[in-house]
């Protein structure tokens, strides 16, 4: 598969041009959302034809990332070497701020490893996103019964990890710009412990792309907000996993605090 990023870091070049139409439309979300929807519709078409493999997934993700940059988004991504260290499947744990990270994670992660998301069941049944998401065989949870969700993630997650696929989990119950450690569950560490694999934390700040009032996934953009993504050190789970979970919280919380200064 094509490697979209070859170094340990990526920063949007300062001279990256804006799309002319994005400027002419006075900084609205129209151009970005139009390009994102077009990419999703193309992905949906491929998925329905059973042609949406990992390479196509990563390509669509990269195209969306370039569209974000063309509409004023500025990325700062660090820690690709942490992904390169991983020679076996891992559990990737990230905070969750917006639709942006689910759109761009494939081009960041897939060139290094196969992976599956844990997602809300509603995404898998969405008329547009559904076929795309299901083509990537996610673990779906209802978010109404935590115990049932835990059992499903543990059962299906261990199976996927044993088959060679990593798992990406957003442990917060919903997307939020606030990082509240008490609302960040330890599911990632528990799954990693049960499967006998490492857990890798990811800190993100993606409030460039806000949650929409009426169309949650296609909200407005704030070009004054730069986009930060940092991959942390993979950790083996020892004991109960509480110490590793604490370090995950420190890594995410510390990065967000630093980015907000």
Q: Look-up: residue for tokens 């110490």?
A: 243
Residue 4 lies in a domain: no
Does a structural domain hold residue 99?
A: yes
Q: What is the pLDDT of residue 125?
A: 86
pTM recorded for the entire structure: 0.95
pLDDT at 218: 81
pLDDT of residue 132: 94
Domain assignment present for 158: yes
User: Which CATH number characterizes residue 161's domain?
Assistant: 3.40.1130
Buried b (16+ CB within 10 A) or exposed e, 11-32: ebeeeeeebeebeeeebebebb
Residue 1, pLDDT score = 80
The 199-205 sheet, strands edge to edge: 9-11, 75-78, 227-231, 199-205, 91-94, 166-169, 115-120, 139-141
Q: Mean pLDDT, to the nearest integer, of 204-214?
A: 88
Q: Is the residue at 114 inside a domain? A: yes
Domain assignment of residue 168, given as a range:
9-259
Taking 80 as the threshold, does the pLDDT of residue 142 lie above it? yes
- Cβ–Cβ under 8 Å, residues 218 and 33: yes
Kindly give the pairing relationship between strand 227-231 and strand 199-205.
antiparallel
- Tell me whether residue 117 is in a domain: yes
Domain count, the chain: 1
Mean pLDDT, the chain, rounded, equals 94
Domain annotation covers residue 2 = no
Q: Which pLDDT belongs to residue 196?
A: 97
pLDDT of residue 79: 98
Range in 131-135, 140-144, 253-257 with the lowest mean pLDDT? 140-144
Q: Is residue 1 part of a domain?
A: no
In a domain, 3, yes or no: no
Distance CA 257, CA 136 (A): 33
Instruction: Please choose, from the candidates 76, 103, 124, 132, the residue with its C-alpha nearest in 3D space to the C-alpha of residue 209.
Output: 103
Q: Is the pLDDT of residue 152 over 80?
A: yes
């Amino acid at each position: 598969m094509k490697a979209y990023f070859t170094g340990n870091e990526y920063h949007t070049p300062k001279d990256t041009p804006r799309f002319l139409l994005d400027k002419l439309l006075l900084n609205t979300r129209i151009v970005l959302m139009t390009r994102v929807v077009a990419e999703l519709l193309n992905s949906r078409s491929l998925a329905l034809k059973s042609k949406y493999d990992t390479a196509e997934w990563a390509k669509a993700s990269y195209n969306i990332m370039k569209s974000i940059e063309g509409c004023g988004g500025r990325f700062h991504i660090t820690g690709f070497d942490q992904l390169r260290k991983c020679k076996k499947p891992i559990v990737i744990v990230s905070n969750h701020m917006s639709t942006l990270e689910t759109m761009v994670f494939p081009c960041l992660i897939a060139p290094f490893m196969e992976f599956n998301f844990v997602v809300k069941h509603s995404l898998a049944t969405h008329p547009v996103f559904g076929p795309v998401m299901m083509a990537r065989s996610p673990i779906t949870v209802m978010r109404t019964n935590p115990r049932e969700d835990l059992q499903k993630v543990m059962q299906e997650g261990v199976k996927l990890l044993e088959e060679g696929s990593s798992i990406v989990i957003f442990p917060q119950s919903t997307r939020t710009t606030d990082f509240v450690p008490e609302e960040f569950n330890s599911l990632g560490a528990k799954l990693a412990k049960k499967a006998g694999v490492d857990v890798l934390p990811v800190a993100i700040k993606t409030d460039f792309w806000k949650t929409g009032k009426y169309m949650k996934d296609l909200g407005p953009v704030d070009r004054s907000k730069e986009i930060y993504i940092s991959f942390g050190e993979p950790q083996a789970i020892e004991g109960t996993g509480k110490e590793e979970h604490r370090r995950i919280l420190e890594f995410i919380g510390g990065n967000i605090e630093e980015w907000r200064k």
